[in-house]
C-alpha cells in the first residue's frame, strides 16, 4: 500500500518565540498573514516519521541566532513589513 501524501498549511506567529511543529517534510512555500503571522506549506506523508522542528519569524534587519537556517521570505504585507521564516536549532 502506498503512503498518502498531502500538502498541509502551518502557521507561525510573529511573537519573537520559536514554535515547534512536527513535520515529515521541509517547507516549500512561505507567505505572510498580515503583521501577526506567517504561514508555510509542507508535504505530509501519512505514517512517515515526523521530526519536531522549531520555526521562528524575524523581521528584516533583526539579529539571528547562530543556529538559524533560512526557510523563506514573505512578500511585503499591507503594513509594509517583510517577514523571514527560519528554522532554529537546525545545525546551520
Give the residue extent of every domain in the chain.
Answer: 5-88
88 or 36: which leads in pLDDT? 88
For residue 10, is pLDDT > 90?
yes
For residue 34, is pLDDT > 80?
no
Q: How far apart are alpha carbons 74 and 66 in whole angstroms? A: 21
CB neighbours of residue 39 within 10 Å: 16
Residue 1: pLDDT band (50, 70, 90) is low
Lowest mean pLDDT among 7-11, 51-55, 74-78, 86-90: 74-78
> Region 8-14: what's the mean pLDDT?
96
Residue 63 and residue 89 in contact, taking contact as beta carbons nearer than 8 Å: no
> How much is the pLDDT for 92?
45
> Region 30-49: what's the mean pLDDT?
92
Element holding 37 (H helix, E strand): strand 37-45
63, HSE (Cβ side, Cα atoms, 13 Å): 2
For residue 16, is pLDDT > 80?
yes
Amino acid at each position: 500500500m502506498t503512503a498518502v501524501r498531502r500538502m498541509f498549511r502551518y502557521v507561525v506567529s510573529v511573537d519573537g518565540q520559536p514554535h515547534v511543529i512536527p513535520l515529515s517534510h521541509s517547507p516549500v512555500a512561505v507567505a505572510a498573514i498580515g503583521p501577526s503571522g506567517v504561514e508555510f506549506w509542507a508535504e505530509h506523508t501519512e505514517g512517515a516519521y515526523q521530526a519536531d522542528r522549531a520555526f521562528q519569524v524575524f523581521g528584516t534587519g533583526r539579529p539571528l541566532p547562530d543556529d538559524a537556517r533560512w526557510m523563506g521570505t514573505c512578500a511585503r504585507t499591507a503594513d509594509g513589513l517583510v517577514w523571514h521564516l527560519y528554522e532554529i536549532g537546525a545545525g546551520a
